[in-house]
Structure 1
Amino acid sequence: MPQPFLRQARTFALTGLACILAASAQAQVSGSAGIVSDYMYRGISLSSGKPAARLSLDVDGANGWFAGGQVVSGQLAPQSHHTAQWLGYGGYAQRLPSGLSWEAGMSAYAFHGAPDWNFREVFAGLSFENYSARLHYSPDYLGFRERTVYAELNGGGALGSNWRYFWRGGYLSAPGNAASNRAEGRIGVGTAVRGWQMQLSLDAARLRRQGIGASSGYGSTASAPSSKVRSKVVLGLARGF
């Protein structure tokens, strides 16, 4: 039976989408369904290094409100099989006359079969042309039992007529426990042909801790410390709709 938080996360995006669609007939709806060779999230694998299926939906309202969600067939290290991992988000964005845009909102994450990993974040960000920056805060992040702040920078551009490059740099900070801090990043290329989207990326992270405790999540105090840089090549294929 799903936990209450799981049910909340599954309805979070649907509620936001319904509000946007009711508020604006000009809302833009997009989504995709596909598979990734490894579901990497901020430098760690949430599919135990295995392929995962992913379905996502996004809605942008003409009045600035946005919402969306995704479900991934992930597999946490304590689990022996794939289970659903849910994400729902919603917020408000506004473009200024200078071309700079700002946004603020909230995200909710839920992991079926591992409710200790469930968490929420609030975020705020700025973007200009092909660059964006976001700051996220969670009072209890991903089973850490710690307050965390995650900062990220994103960018990209065109590579010819059909290809694009993209990159992200991020840093996770736990103010109460420096051993949980980590830096991570992604760089890659992508293309879209006749509705199909393909991405190839290199994900890397400098982890201060390694191992995932069965009861306390990633970053368990029983894990051995490490400062090694780990990297992974990830291939993704999706069909947009």
Structure 2
Amino acid sequence: MKRTLLALPLVLSTALTTTAQAEPTELGAGFSLSGNAAIVSDYRFRGYSQTNFRPAIQVGFDLSHTSGFYLGNWNSNVSDFVFPEGNLEMDFYGGWKGDIGGGFGLDVGALYYYYPGSDSPKDGNYNNTDLYVGLSYDSYSLKYSYTPSDFFSTPDSKGTWYLDGTANFDLGDGWGLVAHVGYQKLKKQVDMDGDDIGHYVDYKLGVTKDLSGWVLGIAAVGASKDNWLPTKNGHPSGRLGAVFSVARAF
């Protein structure tokens, strides 16, 4: 049976925007609350446009505890071309992060993606759950995400995983450099010839400038298979392009 990704509206969702750092609001009993907001010229994740190359407004909130446990919510507009009948992405996540010695940091948790009003081919709204574990050291981080169920309604895709590495460098005077590369592996996706088409590499390289808490950014973003997701008007959603952003933490 033919299985192709090109006709499936599957994406992942988390911003690639680098946000400013701000002191969280102390709530007492070890809890603190922080937030972030951004405007981006094109919402990309894992190389692919989620907004059909149009701007997005993104807002998130994080509740953390001194023990290392945290809960959060992040939201962005998306294109209903990618998620039929849907125009909003809502992410809910929780986990634990902290130092584990030797300068290393550990982050483990779960992330739930939800698209209210969308029309999934499996009935109901599009949604997805990822389990993740991440390691960080100095300016570098490595993260592994695993999907225990079908990946965004893609048939027989249980066990899909994604591995990505990111580096953030402080260049001084408010300037920063961010580099990212990831490898996506979608299970059991083959073309008519039986060749595996369920994998690709995405990449990002950008610079940021902190202006009194407002972080301006520009980055080159793309994917090795630029038409892996559905395209509109003949423009591959994963083509190499520039993404501009303005972000602030609060």
Name the residue aligned to 2:200: 182
Note if contact 1:180-1:208 (Cα within 8 Å) is conserved in structure 2. Answer: no
Q: 3-state DSSP class of the match of 2:70?
A: strand
**1:128 aligns to 2:137 (yes or no):** yes
Name the residue aligned to 1:86: 90
- Structure 2: how far apart are the matches of 1:80 and 1:234? 24
Q: 3-state DSSP class of the match of 2:145?
A: strand
User: What is the Cα deviation at residue 94 of structure 1?
Assistant: 2.8
Flag the structure with more relative contact order, 1 or 2, with Cα contacts below 8 A and sequence separation at least 6. Answer: 2
Aligned match of 1:41 in 20, 41, 45? 45
CA-to-partner distance for each residue in 1:165-211, whole Å, 9 max, x for gaps? 01111011023223121110111111222221211111110127545
CA-to-partner distance for each residue in 1:5-44, whole Å, 9 max, x for gaps? xxxxxxxxxxxxxxxx98x633342222231101001111
Q: 3-state DSSP class of the match of 1:33?
A: strand
Q: Which runs of 5+ in 1 are unaligned?
A: 1-20, 214-225
- Structure 2: how far apart are the matches of 1:150 and 1:196? 31
CA-to-partner distance for each residue in 1:86-116, whole Å, 9 max, x for gaps? 0111101231221112121000001123252
**What amino acid maps onto 1:179 in structure 2?**
I
**1:74 aligns to 2:83 (yes or no):** no
**1:140 aligns to 2:150 (yes or no):** yes
Aligned match of 1:50 in 47, 54, 60? 54
Please tell me the root mean square deviation across aligned C-alpha atoms, in Å: 2.7
**Residues 130 and 79 of structure 1: is their aligned pair in 2 closer, same or farther, counting only changes over 3 Å?**
closer
Q: Which runs of 5+ in 2 are unaligned?
A: 1-25, 121-125, 190-195
Name the residue aligned to 1:203: 221
Note if contact 1:36-1:237 (Cα within 8 Å) is conserved in structure 2. Answer: yes
User: What is the Cα deviation at residue 80 of structure 1?
Assistant: 8.3
**1:168 aligns to 2:172 (yes or no):** no
Name the residue aligned to 1:3: none
CA-to-partner distance for each residue in 1:23-77, whole Å, 9 max, x for gaps? x633342222231101001111111111111111123321011221111011132
**Residues 30 and 191 of structure 1: is their aligned pair in 2 closer, same or farther, counting only changes over 3 Å?**
farther
Name the residue aligned to 2:244: 235
Provide runs of 4+ in structure 1 moved above 3 Å: 78-82, 208-211
Scaled by the length of structure 2, the TM-score of the pair is 0.75
Name the residue aligned to 1:104: 108
**Residues 174 and 63 of structure 1: is their aligned pair in 2 closer, same or farther, counting only changes over 3 Å?**
same
**Residues 133 and 211 of structure 1: is their aligned pair in 2 closer, same or farther, counting only changes over 3 Å?**
closer
Name the residue aligned to 1:219: none
Note if contact 2:227-2:238 (Cα within 8 Å) is conserved in structure 1. Answer: no
Q: 3-state DSSP class of the match of 1:212?
A: coil
Name the residue aligned to 1:65: 69
Q: 3-state DSSP class of the match of 1:118?
A: strand
- Structure 2: how far apart are the matches of 1:165 and 1:75? 29
Name the residue aligned to 2:13: none
Scaled by the length of structure 1, the TM-score of the pair is 0.77
Give aligned-pair identity as a percent: 24
Note if contact 1:46-1:76 (Cα within 8 Å) is conserved in structure 2. Answer: no
**Residues 125 and 82 of structure 1: is their aligned pair in 2 closer, same or farther, counting only changes over 3 Å?**
same
- Structure 2: how far apart are the matches of 1:93 and 1:34? 24
How many residues are paired up?
Answer: 208
